[in-house]
Amino acid sequence: MKTCWECGEKLQIIKGEPYHYTECGLDNIYLHGIIQYKCPKCMEGGPEIPNIQELHLLIGSLVICKRLPLTAQEIKYLRKELGQKSKDMAGLLAVTPQEYSKWENARDVISRNYDKILRMLYILNAESKMGKVLHNGIRFAKGMASIEQPVKKPEDIKIEITASEWIRPFEEPIFSEECVRA
């Protein structure tokens, strides 16, 4: 039986409740079908997240395959997944660190061209990290061309993910025209 890392009390198991996964850096990610633990004494707790690398790859694919422009949080998420410091990311994108900082801190909106470049950088890095092809070439390019202006605030869009979506390794390319969501 698992015990609390803070007070040593026996942890309660929580099943069936979505877990608000803010630890990834995005406020709109909710995981379903995972086990959570909570201490009845000190209220400490947390989830049991299997295969976290595949989960982060899935989150990354959902971020870059959406039709809306990247939000400040998503830009920061992609940078961190790329393992870059913000000044180095600015250098990769050929912008000043101040301009890049404005995108990550929501003081300015990323242009459509830089939005696409950042998405492509992520895809190339994800493919290198996973050691397999994750996109379908021209079909993905057509999807990238369909990025639209938001109808509602991007922060209001909730992303619901079930455990079965990331626990098994991806077999098909995950970055494709079909992955671009409204």
Minimum mean pLDDT range among 5-19, 28-42, 123-137, 167-181: 167-181
**In this structure, are 14 and 89 located in the same domain?**
no
Q: pLDDT, tens digit, for every residue of 75-114? A: 999 999 998 999 999 999 999 999 999 999 999 999 999 9
- Say how many domains are in the chain: 2
**In this structure, are 146 and 58 located in the same domain?**
yes
pLDDT of residue 129: 67
With bands split at pLDDT 50, 70 and 90, how would you rate the model's confidence at 181? very low
Nearest to 79 by CA among 48, 110, 52: 110
Report pTM.
Answer: 0.74
**C-alpha torsion angle, residues 152, 27, 171, 53 (rounded to 10):** 160
Contact 170, 51 (CB under 8 A): no
With bands split at pLDDT 50, 70 and 90, how would you rate the model's confidence at 20? very high
**In this structure, are 144 and 55 located in the same domain?**
yes
What gap in Å lies between CA 33 and CA 161, rounded to an integer?
9
**In this structure, are 56 and 117 located in the same domain?**
yes
Q: pLDDT, tens digit, for every residue of 115-157? A: 999 998 888 887 666 655 555 554 455 555 555 555 556 566 7
**In this structure, are 62 and 24 located in the same domain?**
no
Q: pLDDT, tens digit, for every residue of 42-81? A: 998 889 998 898 899 889 988 988 888 999 999 999 999 9
Contact 42, 9 (CB under 8 A): yes
List beta partners, residue 175.
135
**What range defines the domain where residue 7 resides?**
1-49
**In this structure, are 95 and 42 located in the same domain?**
no
| DSSP helix, strand, coil percent of the chain (3-state; round to 5) | 45, 15, 40
